[in-house]
Amino acid sequence: MKSNIPFLLSVVLTTISCSFGLSQTPPPCNLCSQADVDNYSGVFLSSISISGEDITNLDGMSSATVGSGSAYYIYNNPRLKSIEGLSSVISNSLGTWYFINNDSLKSIDLPVGSTGLEIRDNDMLDSVRIIDFSIELNVKISNNLYLKSMVLGEGPSNVVKSIEVSSNSSLRNLDGLSTLIDVTENISILNNPSLAEFCGLRPLLITEPTLPLNISGNLFNPSNTYIITDGECGNFITNGSGFATLQEALAAATDYSFIKVTRDVTISDATAFPGGQNLTLVVEPLRTLTLDAPFTNEGIIINHGTIRMLNGNIFTNIGPSVMTGNLILEE
């Protein structure tokens, strides 16, 4: 028989009726173990806090329903690996959801119907995918050490009220924001030390060029104008356009063009970088160009990142080169 104690606790919490802002300190847990989660039977009426040393999943919440809610906390769960049980709950909620300090959680992939979402201090979190916004959403994603992929907006509305992305050490790009239709207030992108690619904001800024952006403390900190005019996405960028392959970029290049390697990318076919057009290939800082086939440079190469030659393949440099980065030859 399922316990009704968590239900009674949630009823007591109906007195908490004010709106919770982001970056709140979590209250004491009322679901404090895996057994509490598995035996849950009730309605989220105002607030609920899930925190326990042995909690590994939230499957027991899959049949829960939500009331008029204001704040829901999933925090300090060192063994939590899955939050799939919350999918239907979150999609129908009206409050703010907090995912804080869950050290084993590697992905968050959820539909969100709430008014607020904060994801912070989850050290192993690798990817975030939030879709199907039903109302304007405040989003804060901060201090997730290994976060590399972040997608906001694959549903029918894709309207966000505000976004803050801050202090995510491994985040390199904002590609996952490219499907957003509107941000009604502002965007803050702060102190992400590996972040240099902002092309994911370009579609939004083309329609809203004066959208308030607060961008600072990142590896690169472009203006609205720069993102609009020079912000195309692609592994290779030339003349303001992005391309998936070097051959596509070469076909679009004109005399004296720079072709920038803006992503970690692998070339598996024998390639000659031509010299006839005075082209320059630039491997940007923190980027790796991996070559799994012979490569001949007849143009100009500037390497500020890393060039890796795999399986004993030969790098032949006929043209001028500047190597401030690494050239790694692997057998």
pLDDT tens sequence across 141-184: 999 999 999 988 765 567 788 999 999 999 999 988 988 888 88
Residues with Cβ within 8 Å of residue 210, at least 6 apart in sequence: 224
Please compute the mean of the pLDDT values over residues 13-34 and round it to a whole number: 64
Tokens 């709140």 map to which residue? 24
Q: Is the pLDDT of residue 27 over 60?
A: yes
CA-to-CA dists, residue 10 to 29, 60, 71, 161, 185, angstroms:
11, 16, 11, 28, 33
**pLDDT single digits (tens) 252-268:** 999 999 999 988 899 99
Q: What is the mean pLDDT of the chain?
A: 85
Question: Percentage of residues in the chain with pLDDT exceeding 70?
Answer: 86
Q: How confident is the model at residue 21 (pLDDT cuts 50, 70, 90)?
A: very low
H helices of 21-170, where? 34-38, 87-91
H helices of the chain, where? 5-12, 34-38, 87-91, 202-207, 224-230, 246-252
Number of Cβ within 10 Å of residue 299's Cβ equals 23
What pLDDT is stored for residue 190 in this prediction? Answer: 98
Number of Cβ within 10 Å of residue 10's Cβ equals 22
Please compute the mean of the pLDDT values over residues 92-103 and round it to a whole number: 86
